[in-house]
Structure 1
Amino acid sequence: MKGSRIAAASLALACLLASASTALAAEQGLPGATMSLVWALPFAGLLLSIATGPLLYPHLWEQHYGKITAGWAALVVVPMALSFGFDISVEAVLHTLLLEYMSFIILLFALFTISGGILVAGNIQGTPLINAGLLVIGALLASVVGTTGASMIMIRPVIRANDNRPFNAHVIVFFIFLVSNIGGSLTPLGDPPLFVGFLRGVDFFWTTVHLWREALLVGGIVLAAFLAVDWHFHRRESGQPKVKDPTPHSKVRIRGLANIALLAGVIAAILMSASWKPGVAFSVYGVHVELQNLVRDAIILALAFVSLAVTRKEYRAANGFSWGPILEVAKLFAGIFVCIVPVIAILRAGLDGAFAPLVGLVTGPGGKPDNLAYFWLTGVLSSFLDNAPTYLVFFELAGGDPQALMTTFATTLVAISAGAVFMGANTYIGNAPNFMVYAIARESGVRMPGFFGYMLWSSAMLIPTFLIAGFVFFA
């Protein structure tokens, strides 16, 4: 039960922050150039609450996270209505709810529900090569069902494969690196920031075409490092007394195969919405909801309910499936959507706004973008603030025009995307699945490193890798 609550908070931590895609409506009517940084305090406060609540005051957070979130959102909505008018405020809230919030929460609900019905049963021996194979499978799966979905599907088979090894915590650490983060870099389904980009107009396969080299290099180096570390511990274990395997070997079987077809249906629905433009829209208080997006969301939602109907309950039970995480995400999402609106308004003002110093950090000689700075600043902030809102902040700093960012400034968008996705692995709070995997592993008896112990691992294994990637692709 405790693990479910921790998973709820941790899943919320990244996917709710993917709410960052909110911004478009309000900032169009807000005078971002004249707004001070005070307007960003509720956003920062909510992020800080989400990052620290599950770790520092879990019981209080569990009981009152909805009230805390509503309080931060009220600190934006009420002053915004008083300062800029009721109409602008209502339009802003409706825009975020109807265009970004609903689409994102429906997709997340569907991926969460469908992937939760896929069970990898059975057990094999966790040798270095077998473990490497499991990590590769999980990393590839992450770009199809999302890093959270892939982590849910693969973490228990990986734990079972290594539960008779005295040294197994490093396997879970590298699982977080590769499956819960790096592997989700190839499609908008993979990681929340990339879906934020898709909602903002980035083509579905743009990330696949433009990030595969970065993903291959970073993933390849980290996988090679894992093999070296796992071989080292495997050799040390050979001279120690054998531990009785609590989960004896058995044939590996994949249950709930119907859900794989349903996942394909989700992908097809998203591709349909990107290519089918009937030109039909419905207006709600000035907010235009396009028909193709309504159809996409309806199809995705229907596929999730089909999964619930056709998947046997014992498969979900074996995966530790519960509705707690998605309920928490839904509540926290709404708060983030509201709180980031004034932040984006200020960012859109560029050098005329309160975030001018940040704009200067990512601007090179002659006004050209400094792609290496984009990579590292996006990455460092993604390590602690979660990667989805960080992605949106730098997406806006780079101009916010998806057509320009996919063409003229493609390297800049690659730098932002790579920094947000890859460096979410630097801490337990950098991406939603990180802490979820940590909680599940600890409950299963794995001696996981603490917050700073994990950062020692990431500093030793990931930072040198990112230095290489930054030099190769963005210097």
Structure 2
Amino acid sequence: MKISRWLTVAALCALPGLACAADIDGSRLSVLWGVPFAGILLSIALMPLLVPIFWHHHFGKVAAGWALAFLLPFAVVHGPGAAGASFVHALVGEYIPFVILLTALFTVAGGIHIRGNLHGGPALNTAILAIGAVLASFMGTTGASMLMIRPLIRANDNRKHVAHVVVFFIFIVSNAGGSLTPLGDPPLFLGFLKGVDFFWTVGHIFPETLFLVGALLALFFALDSWYYHRREEVLKADPTPDSKAIGFDGKANFALLGAVVALVLMSGLWKSSVVFHVAGTEVGLPGIVRDVGLILVTLVSLVVTPRKVHEDNQFSWGPMQEVAKLFAGIFLTIIPVIAMLKAGVSGPFGAVVAAVTRPDGTPDPAMYFWASGALSSFLDNAPTYLVFFNTAGGDPAVLMTTLAPTLAAISAGSVFMGANSYIGNAPNMMVKAIAEDRGVKMPSFFGYMLWSGGVLVPLFVVMTFIWFR
């Protein structure tokens, strides 16, 4: 059953009473409603290891099954109206804009080919990671990841060990590098929409970002140097010829990339009173203009990009399809989990919310850093940011001044710790899928977490003692 078909099934199940509000009272939910979400996470983690052939051919059906395991019982217990409104809210308010933006960035970046043969050694690889980190805060972690991952893999296609290069790429470019502006990562963009100044983040977590990115680049250079100088690390035959000068093909996509950034920024700056209601979900005119514009940008990119550029990039829709199908299941099964978190201390996860407050009632930045980060490692980091943003009071004027350390901790935790797992941030899985499509043997779900636990977590501990005490 294709994803469009099972989404239609879910919608039909929810048609009666769709006008119900999409909000769910999380304080009345049992933690058992989180089982489908846990199920899809475990499926992503274990099935590629235990039943790889089945997973490769049927991961969309598995995601659909877990989504229906939430939606159908929820419709029976709480009524089809509540289930339908929740489905529409997740689809229209979150998933569709998410996939449209990812598709635009994936298509436009995939239409830019860096020609010529870069020879991947420790210095060059480190430089590429550093450039990607800078680009991430201006064109988003997804845009920077899609632009830089292909030339990085091609530069190292004559080496025996490449997985560590991609893992550090995810750490640095797909996550940490996007922490300085609202364009960098969705949590910061949501903060911008809530009233946080555009340049507030760069003014308050620049030292933390510089420390994390700098430390990761140094660790990567040391590790890559160790691999590079091992015997038989560099293969004799380089599959990429040196016949072409270094340059760019598909240059029109640079302008389209600028259009994507402009559209996203416009949707945050433009305030319009024109609002449409779809089954209780508000859809504003700026968001509609943004999404239509992104679709047009995607189509223009496909038309103006020469076929040879896509061939040289080995461009295919496989990675995008994998992300779209898996995150459809995640966006649906996460509905009750986010609702339970929003319920605060009165909800099933009240202990998590209560843990971020000191005995005197003041917020604890260190706990906000770790709580928002831990949840962002497995949940969508954008709604997780909003949960703790609201837990800390939700007033941007207060959070940017009196409670600035708390907002900095929430911002840093949500962005930085999205690198802790493949599903912590959308670019993580897209980069993994592209790397595997190019023949790189990437770590499993838990294998990747061994990398993040051994490299990232100690750095986060150091950051806690320096900045978030």
TM range (shorter): 0.7 to 0.9
Pick aligned residue for 2:457 from 436, 457, 463: 463
Pick aligned residue for 1:71 from 25, 41, 65: 65
- Measure the CA separation in 2 of the matches of 1:79 and 1:355: 21
**Offset of 1:416 from its aligned partner?**
2.9
- Measure the CA separation in 2 of the matches of 1:298 and 1:457: 39
Secondary structure of the equivalent of 2:272?
A: coil
Q: Which residue is 1:368 aligned to?
A: 362
Deviates more, 1:319-328 or 1:203-212: 203-212
- Measure the CA separation in 2 of the matches of 1:127 and 1:116: 24
- Measure the CA separation in 2 of the matches of 1:265 and 1:100: 21
Q: How does 1:396-435 map to 2 (within 5 A)?
A: 397-398=391-392, 405-406=399-400, 408-428=402-422, 430-434=424-428
Deviates more, 1:195-204 or 1:82-91: 195-204
Secondary structure of the equivalent of 1:81?
A: helix
Secondary structure of the equivalent of 2:276?
A: strand
Q: Which residue is 1:322 aligned to?
A: 316
Pick aligned residue for 1:58 from 52, 66, 83: 52
- Measure the CA separation in 2 of the matches of 1:98 and 1:455: 32
- Residues 1:299 and 2:293 aligned together: yes
**Offset of 1:271 from its aligned partner?**
2.0
- The alignment covers a number of residue pairs equal to 451
**Offset of 1:170 from its aligned partner?**
4.2
Q: Deviations over 1:71-123 (max 9, x none)?
A: 33333333333333443333333233222222222111111111111111112
Identity rate, percent = 56
- Measure the CA separation in 2 of the matches of 1:439 and 1:92: 29
- Measure the CA separation in 2 of the matches of 1:166 and 1:28: 51
Name whichever structure is richer in helix by fraction: 1
Secondary structure of the equivalent of 2:152?
A: helix
* Preserved CA contact (<8 Å) 2:193 2:268: no
Question: Aligned AA for 2:333?
Answer: C
Q: Which residue is 1:256 aligned to?
A: 250
- Measure the CA separation in 2 of the matches of 1:126 and 1:333: 32
Secondary structure of the equivalent of 2:114?
A: strand
Q: Deviations over 1:222-248 (max 9, x none)?
A: 1122333344555556x9998344435
Go from structure 1 to structure 2 and tell me whether the alpha carbon gap of 1:49 and 1:448 turns closer, same or farther (over 3 Å shift).
Answer: closer
Deviates more, 1:372-381 or 1:37-46: 372-381
Q: Which residue is 2:347 aligned to?
A: 353
* Preserved CA contact (<8 Å) 1:282 1:289: yes
Pick aligned residue for 1:136 from 115, 130, 133: 130
Go from structure 1 to structure 2 and tell me whether the alpha carbon gap of 1:358 and 1:439 turns closer, same or farther (over 3 Å shift).
Answer: same
Q: Which residue is 1:243 aligned to?
A: 236
- Measure the CA separation in 1 of the matches of 2:85 and 2:410: 29
Go from structure 1 to structure 2 and tell me whether the alpha carbon gap of 1:407 and 1:77 turns closer, same or farther (over 3 Å shift).
Answer: farther
Q: Which residue is 2:6 aligned to?
A: none
Deviates more, 1:137-146 or 1:450-459: 450-459
Q: How does 1:48-447 map to 2 (within 5 A)?
A: 48-164=42-158, 170-195=164-189, 205-234=199-228, 243-249=236-242, 250-383=244-377, 387=381, 390-391=384-385, 394-395=388-389, 397-398=391-392, 405-406=399-400, 408-428=402-422, 430-434=424-428, 437=431
Secondary structure of the equivalent of 1:283?
A: strand
- Residues 1:34 and 2:28 aligned together: yes
- Measure the CA separation in 2 of the matches of 1:319 and 1:174: 21
* Preserved CA contact (<8 Å) 1:351 1:359: yes
Q: Deviations over 1:112-157 (max 9, x none)?
A: 1111111111123334332221111122233344434433332332
- Measure the CA separation in 1 of the matches of 2:272 and 2:459: 45
C-alpha RMSD of the superposition? 3.5
- Measure the CA separation in 2 of the matches of 1:66 and 1:454: 22
Question: Aligned AA for 2:110?
Answer: G
Secondary structure of the equivalent of 2:360?
A: helix
Secondary structure of the equivalent of 1:41?
A: helix
* Preserved CA contact (<8 Å) 2:21 2:281: no
Question: Aligned AA for 2:151?
Answer: P
Deviates more, 1:396-405 or 1:463-472: 396-405
Secondary structure of the equivalent of 2:62?
A: helix
**Offset of 1:207 from its aligned partner?**
4.0
TM-score if structure 1 supplies the norm length? 0.81
* Preserved CA contact (<8 Å) 1:27 1:341: no
Deviates more, 1:108-117 or 1:156-165: 156-165
Unaligned runs of 5+ in 1: 1-24
- Measure the CA separation in 2 of the matches of 1:69 and 1:446: 25
Deviates more, 1:299-308 or 1:344-353: 344-353
Structure with larger RCO (C-alpha < 8 A, sep 6+): 1
- Measure the CA separation in 1 of the matches of 2:24 and 2:162: 52
Secondary structure of the equivalent of 2:246?
A: strand
TM-score if structure 2 supplies the norm length? 0.82
* Preserved CA contact (<8 Å) 1:47 1:385: no
**Offset of 1:181 from its aligned partner?**
2.5
Unaligned runs of 5+ in 2: 1-18
Q: Deviations over 1:363-406 (max 9, x none)?
A: 22222222212222333444456655654554565456666655
Q: Which residue is 1:18 aligned to?
A: none
* Preserved CA contact (<8 Å) 2:125 2:152: yes
Secondary structure of the equivalent of 2:82?
A: helix
Question: Aligned AA for 1:92?
Answer: S
- Measure the CA separation in 2 of the matches of 1:389 and 1:65: 25
**Offset of 1:350 from its aligned partner?**
1.5
Deviates more, 1:400-409 or 1:420-429: 400-409
- Measure the CA separation in 2 of the matches of 1:234 and 1:76: 48
- Measure the CA separation in 2 of the matches of 1:274 and 1:293: 9
* Preserved CA contact (<8 Å) 1:153 1:319: no
Question: Aligned AA for 1:156?
Answer: R
